[in-house]
């Protein structure tokens, strides 16, 4: 299967070091009191804006992850043969916002039952994903999936198709994608949830 993927390039795609909206760093090193999370929920423009204004969020950045192509471009990801999903990297302060809170926002803000699409955006790059950095994140993500599935089923929705795995390499997207809706407030955003509430679950971390 891997032979069918694009090879990519040795160097990373250029992106600024600082967040357009809040000025914080979007590239390492990050402050010691921060943790990282990665979510994919369709077009990454709206997904990033969803998180950056929350209390406890240090910074956000958009990029590509979950595939095999090294340092892919947006155009390559759109072909569907890099294996990557459009994702948002969330750098957060756990003492101010829990991973569970981020999970609840993730589940409620898109339709995780749509497979390789999200609303009008169709393709493998728009699939629903949670990429985890610790075993505790993985445990909580899986627990939240099972509990949210019960709520979705009661509301008449099908099975959750969200991919939940350990995070692989995160490749930063091009500069014009970073904080896109901060730079273009009236830009395209298809983000929308099912209306099903994600009830509190497990112990916050």
Contacts of 32 (CB under 8 A, 6+ apart): none
43 catalytic? Reply is yes
187 SS3 class: coil
Token readout for 60 is 């956000």
Check if the beta carbon of residue 22 is closer than 8 Å to that of residue 52: yes
Neighbours of 103 (CB within 10 A): 23
Q: Which residues contact 139 (CB under 8 A, 6 or more apart)?
A: none
Annotated active-site residue in 43, 78, 189, 198: 43
Which neighbouring-strand residues pair with 59? 91
Residue numbers annotated as active site: 43
């Amino acid at each position: 299967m891997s032979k069918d993927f694009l090879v990519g390039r040795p160097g990373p795609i250029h992106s600024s070091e600082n967040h357009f909206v809040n000025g914080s760093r979007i590239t390492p090193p990050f402050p010691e009191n921060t943790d990282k999370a990665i979510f994919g929920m369709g077009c990454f423009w709206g997904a990033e804006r969803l998180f950056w204004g929350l209390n406890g969020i240090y910074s956000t950045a958009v990029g590509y992850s979950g595939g095999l192509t090294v340092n892919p471009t947006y155009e390559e990801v759109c072909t569907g043969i890099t294996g990557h999903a459009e994702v948002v990297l969330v750098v957060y302060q756990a003492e101010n916002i829990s991973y569970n809170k981020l999970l609840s926002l993730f589940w409620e803000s898109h339709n995780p039952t749509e497979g390789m699409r999200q609303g009008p955006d169709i393709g493998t790059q728009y699939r629903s994903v949670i990429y985890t950095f610790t075993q505790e994140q993985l445990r909580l993500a899986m627990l939240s999936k099972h509990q949210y599935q019960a709520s979705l089923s009661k509301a008449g929705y099908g099975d959750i198709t969200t991919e939940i795995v350990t995070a692989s390499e995160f490749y930063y997207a091009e500069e014009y994608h970073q904080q896109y809706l901060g730079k273009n407030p009236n830009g395209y955003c298809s983000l929308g949830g099912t209306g099903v509430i994600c009830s509190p679950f497990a112990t916050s971390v």
